[in-house]
Amino acid sequence: MLTFVARRLLATIPVLAIVAIFVFLMLRLTPGDPAAVIAGDYANSQQIAEIRAKLGLDEPLVTQFFIWAGRGLQGDFGESFFFKRTVAELILQRVEPTLALAVCTIVLAVLIAVPLGVIAAHRHGGWIDRIVMGFSVLGFSVPVFVVGYLLIYVFAIQLSWVPVQGYRSPVDGLGDFFQRIILPSCTLAVIYIALIARITRASVIEVLGEDYIRTARAKGLTERTVLMRHALRNAAVPIVTVIGIGIALLIGGVVVTESVYNIPGLGRLTVDAVLARDYPVIQAVILMFSFVYVLINLVIDLAYSFFDPRIRY
Amino acid sequence: MTAQTDEQVDIAAAAAAAARKPGIFRRMGRSQSVIIGAALVGVMLLIAIFAPWLDTIDPAQIDPTYRNRKPGVERMITLPGGEQVRHVYWMGTDSLGRDIYSRVIYGARISMVVGVTVAAISVVVGLFIGLISGYIRWLDGVIMRVMDGLMAIPGILLAIGLVSLWGAGLFTVILAIVVPEIPRVVRLVRSVVLSVREEPYVEAAISVGTPTPLILVRHIMPQTMAPIIVQATFICASAILVEAILSFLGIGIPPETPTWGNIMAEGRVLFRIHPHNIMYPGVFLAVTVLAINMLGDGLRDTLDPRMSKRI
């Protein structure tokens, strides 16, 4: 068990290292002087020279990487040339809205998708199943921003139930917070629901064919107990896995959703940084999101071995 | 090799194809989602190809006197040739007075080009790397670690990062969408190669001294085709979506080019008054992606039943 955890942790290191190398090379292998690129369009030659000295751009590429990575490990990602503050500060400031949006979305998606998937599996081949599967294909196909604007049009403009855009911190009042976070969460949840419902359905269908399900039914348990306690529990591993893998979709969706709803989170920061060609910020955001993605999946992997005694490594 | 054996091989291949083909096509023909998906994709392709003849006008033509009109208005316009015609603005005009209908119709071209090109390039590159990685053991570890790293970066984010470095444009957008797709193809191809490489017919080919490239191309590659075709349709769908997202965020194809994402980006400003500026291209985009996904789902069920889970 401990060796498994240790091995799994060790296996994560090369992945993170390659992500870091890739993000590093992305900028360095672009034609042109990286210092000039980082400094932005309005920098003078003295500023460019300063950046070159600071990043050690005259050193060999390998040395440069270690300078960059070493600073990154200490949380120093340089300075944003657009926002005029350190990248770390900027990111910290923007974490909260994104985190709130992500958590609300995941909770909402799991609460809707898992029951949908279980019902679809239970009524395998019936019309509920067809509707759920149809919705799932649709959910993959309708772009996030179209869903977003559709919801805004119906619920914010036509019905005026919620404000159109914006964000309030939960610290300043939960009512205002939920009023503004509900539409973005629903928007972002669509594709996630599609993904989770599909996998839930597939894995529950598979489990429902097992002998112990027949036994459970034979001993007279209600269908509800059979589904929730016997089937869903044993189908949990692929479902939890896909929730973890789906984080990548979620991160992509965050960028779009935050732009549609004008939420000052990391997604908006990414777009603003790209529009302003603010490379230190772009680099840091990509790196951070990727690390979060890898680490979440690492945690999920490790969680299996705790929760599912059948899994032995 | 003599002509006769060549002929025999051809006959054998034709016989095998004859034995196989009708089955597969008949099964595909029975699949509802293949029929509906393929029909819709066909319609979109026709729209893209025949865009200039579908009662459209120049999609880039700006008319400051005719901005933000409701769908369905009509008026006389002067064609570049000087003749006067009555033109109906089926979807209204945008805030620069351009005909949204024409832009949406022409937008189908960009989406189709992006979808098909991205799918083609990622399949070719991914197939090449995947074959090598699966068959040449000592390269496998290195290649797969790099692919794992690449896959750890969320796709849209990677595309956004690449576009921001390479600059906006059709070609850079296509490349930026290709890069995150490659590791997925590589993994798929590699897994097929790993299962096929131990087959007796591959061993037989090795034992008669067939050169490795020939084994890969002639004996192993054909086995990867079914899953790759399925994967290519999904890549095509997701590429169209990602292109629209990039354009929508204002970091994709330059705004004067009529793409569905650009039309929607332009419509954001006046969304409260003119929601149709976003909804028309949105519907086209959603239907196209839905059609391709349905086609992919149907193809997967007929061509490759094992690959029933898709992520």
pLDDT tens series, chain B, 311 aa:
344 444 444 544 444 444 455 566 666 666 788 888 899 999 999 988 887 887 777 777 777 777 777 777 777 777 777 777 777 777 777 777 788 888 888 889 999 999 999 999 999 999 999 999 988 888 888 898 889 888 888 888 889 888 888 878 899 899 999 999 999 999 999 988 888 888 888 889 888 988 888 888 888 888 888 889 989 999 999 999 999 999 998 888 888 888 898 888 888 877 777 788 888 889 999 999 999 998 988 888 887 655 544 43
Q: Is A2 exposed, middle or buried (0-12, 13-18, 19+ CB in 10 A)?
A: exposed
C-alpha to C-alpha distance for B106 and B112, rounded to whole angstroms = 10
The pLDDT of residue A31? 66
Closest residue to A26, CB basis, from B146, B165, B309: B165
SS3 assignment, position A1: coil
- pLDDT over 70 percentage in chain A: 93
Give the max Cα distance, chain B: 77
- Dihedral sign for Cα B295, B299, B302, B308, please: negative
How distant is the Cα of B177 from the closest Cα of chain A, in angstroms? 13
Using a CB–CB cutoff of 8 Å, tell me whether B77 touches chain A.
no
- Let me know: does B123 contact B232? Beta carbons within 8 Å: yes
Does A230 have pLDDT greater than 50? Answer: yes
CB pair distance less than 8 Å for A252 and B155: yes
A164-173, A271-280, B105-114 — which one is most confidently predicted on average? Answer: B105-114
Question: Using a CB-CB distance cutoff of 8 angstroms, which residues of chain A are in contact with residue B271?
Answer: 149, 152-153
Question: Using a CB-CB distance cutoff of 8 angstroms, which residues of chain B are in contact with residue A285?
Answer: 157
Closest residue to A157, CB basis, from B154, B272, B282: B272
SS3 assignment, position B73: strand
SS3 assignment, position B88: strand
Using a CB–CB cutoff of 8 Å, tell me whether A141 touches chain B.
yes
Using a CB–CB cutoff of 8 Å, tell me whether B248 touches chain A.
yes
The residue of chain A with its CA nearest to that of B297 is: A137
C-alpha to C-alpha distance for B124 and B182, rounded to whole angstroms = 9
Using a CB–CB cutoff of 8 Å, tell me whether B41 touches chain A.
no
Residue A182's nearest CA partner among A191, A174, A193 is A174
SS3 assignment, position B77: strand
CB pair distance less than 8 Å for B164 and A16: no
- Let me know: does B264 contact B150? Beta carbons within 8 Å: no
The pLDDT of residue B5? 47
Backbone angles phi, psi at B77, to 5 degrees: -130, 160
Backbone angles phi, psi at B300, to 5 degrees: -60, -45
C-alpha to C-alpha distance for B286 and B293, rounded to whole angstroms = 10
- Record the tokens describing residue B221, joined without a space: 């590659």
- Dihedral sign for Cα B62, B66, B71, B77, please: negative
CB pair distance less than 8 Å for A15 and B148: yes
The pLDDT of residue B23? 61
Does A244 have pLDDT greater than 90? Answer: no
SS3 assignment, position B232: helix
Interface of A with B in 241-300 (CB under 8 A): 242, 245, 247-249, 251-252, 255-256, 259, 270-271, 273-275, 277, 279, 282-283, 285-286, 289-290, 293-294
Q: Which range (A130-144, A194-208, B60-74, B103-117) has the least confidence?
A: B60-74
The pLDDT of residue A75? 78
Q: How big is the A-B interface in CB pairs under 8 Å?
A: 152
The pLDDT of residue B15? 47
CB pair distance less than 8 Å for B251 and A293: no
> What amino acid occupies position B38?
A
C-alpha to C-alpha distance for A26 and A74, rounded to whole angstroms = 21
CB pair distance less than 8 Å for B308 and A202: yes
C-alpha to C-alpha distance for A218 and A50, rounded to whole angstroms = 77
Residue B94's nearest CA partner among B248, B249, B270 is B270
Residues 6+ positions from A9 with CB-CB distance below 8 Å: A298
The ipTM value here is: 0.84
CB pair distance less than 8 Å for A141 and B150: no
Using a CB–CB cutoff of 8 Å, tell me whether A8 touches chain B.
no
Q: What is the mean pLDDT of chain A?
A: 84
Question: Using a CB-CB distance cutoff of 8 angstroms, which residues of chain B are in contact with residue A143?
Answer: 241, 244-245, 248, 282, 285-286, 289
* A283 band by pLDDT with thresholds 50, 70 and 90: confident
The pLDDT of residue B28? 66
CB pair distance less than 8 Å for A22 and B153: yes
Q: Which range (A26-30, A60-64, A245-249) has the least confidence?
A: A26-30
C-alpha to C-alpha distance for B79 and B55, rounded to whole angstroms = 12
The residue of chain B with its CA nearest to that of A202 is: B309
Task: Establish how many alpha carbons lie within 13 A of residue A119's alpha carbon, considering only the half-sphere containing its beta carbon.
Answer: 13
The pLDDT of residue A174? 79
- The string of DSSP letters for A59-93 reads S-HHHHHHHHHHHHHTT---EETTTTEEHHHHHHH
- Let me know: does A122 contact A234? Beta carbons within 8 Å: no
Using a CB–CB cutoff of 8 Å, tell me whether A162 touches chain B.
no
Interface of B with A in 98-127 (CB under 8 A): none
Residues 6+ positions from A30 with CB-CB distance below 8 Å: A37, B165, B166
Strand partners, B17: none
Residue B231 neighbours by CB distance under 10 Å:
27
- Let me know: does A102 contact A300? Beta carbons within 8 Å: no
